[in-house]
Structure 1
């Protein structure tokens, strides 16, 4: 570059003025606004190059992605305060993020590859980690179809498949503190999250809803929920549900219409729909506003349960006979897998959420009592599995226990008043709820002790993020439980729960109240 005195005057406003919509005098080396606000002043030139041309498209219409280089200062203006993740303390203050602005989507896969490369990890390692761990809790993606979409010959991966790959990597990405502290090109989780959210929004606004795009939106919502922002996750999942309805993936009538690969696509769509249903109900428990309408309608009781991870990955769905036809309402059947149990648990939680908004206490409390008995019986069925094969039931167990905490926590929050429901006073109902939550907290303590000893030392874990909120609910019950001379747990119980959560911070950065 020439000396400062011979610089050519910029033709565009600096990046700071552009993002903050301020008038820029285009001064060098810094404009007057940046000097006044003591901000870094950058002028970014936008270049155009010929992009990758697919065989089915005229290459003359292709343009590449235009990027704006964003620093931590400009991110504060672009991201709403409630949707900004706290950057890890080891991340440099000015983390660079590529914010793509598309004119066409033929080069989305190249941008995704660039973003993933900036994490310092390999795509194969990240996807293997996803299908080894998180995929077991939310089996919505057919591994066979996903790999086929990325390795198809003759054309680059589609835009929606590329976005799905990016959100998969976001779920399992574990930043290396050493790389973050010394490598300016390595991005942190905040930057990766914002890049994924921006890319998803741009592609979503221009493409028809597709299964990969819906799955990417669901994974993004799950990430927000796992990072302690259920309100943001609930907004994201509502948009995901609208896309799902537009794509009609909730329509179970399609099961009898397709075979082979098409049938595998249908089953993948069905599991994705169940993933949205389960996730939305889990998210709303943390938001606490049970009167707001949900974006998804619960499938009917005679709807067939979703298929399990093993069948989805193998893709052996050539006929209807290969898939067991077990309806959602059959709670007592013992041959149901983990994801099917999670679907059933979400149906029970849905009944709890609907029961909590009944205004008449003399009607509400007996209904909740009946639901409590059903949930506890269902919980006993889940716990009857051998501990060696209990891992696939982690999400079902977490949703079921969360339903108990939601149900009895709502009873304890009822303002004191004189009532007689089933010939019992409100004080008696609350004593029963305290006893139920004592039992649930003891059970969570036992699960945490077992799981803590099995967590790998590299920071990865196979824990459903819903389970994190169950542990938090247990800690809250310990804090708020009235003390009447009896305390069901040892003095170390709360510390053990907190230590467990601290161990999970590397994977799920859940914030604490």
Structure 2
């Protein structure tokens, strides 16, 4: 007892209390909570953090994490937010990049970054599952929560990184907090810290579902932020990890227990999320011949399940799991995410048709695909009453595919050619009429949706809608004037206001 009384009292709560958010009395050798619950009690040694100007600086004190200063000018242009430097350093905009010598401290660094965002982790995760999760249901909420609240052990490095990307997706900068010096970071800094941490953990661990999901969410953020080229690069690496982990292979459920079945469904949904997202990103790239990192699943592969089944998948029997092939476009019982997968299959066919060199083959194929897409769109619209947001991704992918197809026809250089007894000029007139109809539809949807968007800037709209609205505005601005437009003069301004509201969740004027 005498020896214990001279021990230095820990400065931080033990890992168990910190993870479970319990009050810790910091007792030695075990705190009261761990003694009561018969749990292992461990404290993380607190060492002084030193700021390193270069990665070659000698390390005199071993720590789990050391930090490097990166000037904002060295990372994709200037930024306006920083974590403050020591008082002895000239004040300038900087970013801190943690460099790990051990993965044991990843969860603590993630918690620190989230704290610096000025928001609570529970609020961010709740917002994520309320919004983007409905459009991209790749994470089982139950498995996600279990990975963060393990029995007496801190979250793993890959689970911690997934948590950080979830928080990045859900983060909404608060202009009042952003005006306070030094105690919060902005969206740009949060993104750079997330990307740096993810890259380091990827370099140390084997591909896992959590790492793949984190990479997909990061690519989604980059795409929604207006950088589809960067998103394509990120998702290509994500696809390689997915292939290495084998999640692209479907697995039978008959011999699985509830937990294994849930894990298999989560993996399948994640793979479909990569497939859908990569094709949506590719729509915004002019290089049609750029190869895809993912191969589209065959027509007989099972479609993904919806968020409701994913969130309670461990309670379902194998017989209750849907087994609908992706090629069955006319089945009415297909769920929302399954419809999004089917829409991506149609988009994939269009992207492949655009690179056919022979115009007499390309145009008839595009016409056939146009009929299939419009029929599919009619089926989606018939399902939407009362479930508008649920089919958000499927609708957005389908409408964006129509724009892509007919924009291509209008861009074909004028030449004296007849295809199916029609001149190229006649083909272009048909595409112009199709784009007019699609733009009018988007304008009508925007008027309705704008009135119900939350005032806090969050929304449960698929980020693909950002590019659908941009395509509509582009058509309004570039359409030849033939005496009258098929929409009111105020439509472009109304669409721009709607676009600004959609982008607020991803690109905001408060991005310090």
State the TM bucket, normalised to the shorter chain.
Answer: 0.7 to 0.9
Alpha-carbon distance, 1:68 to partner: 2.2
- Provide Cα deviations, 1:285-342, integer angstroms capped at 9, x if missing partner: 1012111110000000011110110010112454321112111011111111110000
User: Residue 112 of structure 1 aligns with which residue?
Assistant: 110
Distance 1:152 1:393, change over 3 A: same
The residue aligned with 1:411 is 409
Partner of 2:218: 220
Question: CA shift at 1:119, angstroms?
Answer: 0.6
SS in 2 for 1:67: strand
Which whole-Å CA distance do the structure 2 matches of 1:260 and 1:202 have between them? 33
* CA offset digits 1:443-463 (Å, max 9, x no partner): 000110011000011111111
Deviation at 1:486, TM superposition (A): 2.8
1:209 has 2:207 as partner: yes
Note closer, same or farther for the CA distance 1:148–1:85 as it changes in structure 2 (3 Å cut): farther
- Contact kept, 8 Å, 2:171 with 2:187, in 1: the verdict is yes
Give the one of 302, 305, 320 matched to 1:304. Answer: 302
Q: What's 2:133 paired with?
A: 135
Give per-residue Cα distances to partners, 1:419-441, cap 9 Å, x unaligned.
11111111000000000000000
Give SS of 1:389's match.
Answer: coil
- What corresponds to 1:400 in structure 2? 398
> 1: distance between equivalents of 2:52 and 2:100?
20
Aligned to 2:457: 459
Residue 484 of structure 2 is aligned with which of 483, 486, 494?
486
Inter-CA distance 212–47: structure 2 relative to 1 (3 Å threshold): farther
Instruction: Determine whether 1:280 maps to 2:278.
Output: yes
Query: 2: CA distance between counterparts of 1:284 and 1:385?
Result: 27
Tell me the distance in 2 between the aligned counterparts of 1:130 and 1:438.
35
- Cα distance between partner residues in 2 of 1:266 and 1:220: 22
Q: 1:76 aligns with which of 73, 94, 102?
A: 73
* Aligned residue number for residue 152 of structure 1: 150
Q: Which ranges of structure 1 fall in alignment gaps of 5 or more residues?
A: 1-11, 22-43, 50-62
Kept after mapping to 2: 8 A contact 1:174/1:507: yes
Q: Which residue of 1 aligns with 2:335?
A: 337
TM-score (norm 1): 0.85
Matching residue of 2:229: 231
2:457, 2:505 within 8 Å by CA — same for their partners in 1? Answer: yes
In the alignment, structure 1 residue 384 sits paired with structure 2 residue 382:
yes
SS at match of 1:390: coil
Q: Deviations over 1:187-241 (max 9, x none)?
A: 0011000000000000001100000000000000000000100000000000000
Question: 1:41-85: CA deviations, max 9, x gaps?
Answer: xxx995646xxxxxxxxxxxxx41112244xxx1322x2x3xx69
> Is the aligned partner of 1:121 residue 2:130?
no
Query: 1:85 touches 1:190 (CA, 8 Å); kept in 2?
Result: no
- For the residue of structure 1 that corresponds to 2:251, the secondary structure is helix
Q: CA deviation at 1:145?
A: 0.3
Aligned to 2:64: 64
Contact preservation (8 Å) 2:80, 2:93: no
Distance in 1 (CA, whole Å) between partners of 2:402 and 2:415 is: 23
- The question of whether the paired residues in 2 share the 8 Å contact of 1:96 and 1:187 is answered with no
Deviations 1:467-496 (A, max 9, x none): 110000000011111111131010000000
Separation of aligned partners in 1, 2:316 and 2:51: 59
**1:385 offset after TM fit, Å?**
1.8
Contact 1:109 1:162 in 2 (8 A): yes
Aligned CA distance change for structure 1 residues 316 and 262 (closer, same or farther; 3 Å): closer
Q: Deviations over 1:118-157 (max 9, x none)?
A: 0111110000000011100000000000000000112110
How many angstroms apart in 1 are the aligned matches of 2:376 and 2:212? 30
Count residues in correspondence.
454
Q: Matched residues in 1 for 2:499 and 2:222: separation?
A: 17
- Which deviates more from structure 2 when the two are superposed, residues 358-367 or residues 99-108? 99-108
Instruction: Please tell me whether the aligned partners of residues 72 and 93 of structure 2 are also in contact (alpha carbons under 8 angstroms).
Output: no
Q: In structure 1, what is the Cα distance between the partners aligned to 2:455 and 2:143?
A: 32
Deviations 1:151-182 (A, max 9, x none): 01121100000000000000010111121111
Map of 1:187 onto structure 2 = 185
Distance 1:95 1:397 in 2: 42
Alignment check: 8 A CA contact 1:227 1:508 kept: yes
CA contact (8 A) 1:129 1:172 kept: yes
Corresponding residue number in structure 2 for 1:53 = none
Contact persistence 1:227–1:509 (CA under 8 A): yes
The alignment partner of 1:418 has SS state of: coil
Higher relative contact order (CA 8 A, sep 6+): 2
Aligned equivalents of 1:256, 1:106: Cα separation in 2: 37
Q: TM-score, normalised by structure 2?
A: 0.85
1-side partners of 2:407 and 2:51: how far apart? 55
- CA deviation after TM superposition for structure 1 residue 88, in Å: 8.2
Question: 2:302 touches 2:323 (CA, 8 Å); kept in 1?
Answer: yes
With over 3 angstroms needed to count, the CA separation of the structure-2 counterparts of 1:321 and 1:95, relative to structure 1, is: farther
Q: Secondary structure at the match of 2:422?
A: coil
Contact 2:393/2:464 (8 A) holds in 1: yes
- Distance change (3 Å), C-alpha of 1:96 and 1:446: same
Partner secondary structure for residue 98 of structure 2: strand
Aligned match of 1:441: 439
Instruction: State how far apart, in whole Å, the 2-side matches of 1:374 and 1:433 are.
Output: 15
Partners of 1:212 and 1:178 lie apart in 2 by: 33
Contact 1:130–1:172 (CA under 8 A) maintained in structure 2: yes
In structure 2, which of residues 348, 361, 371 is the aligned counterpart of residue 363 of structure 1?
361
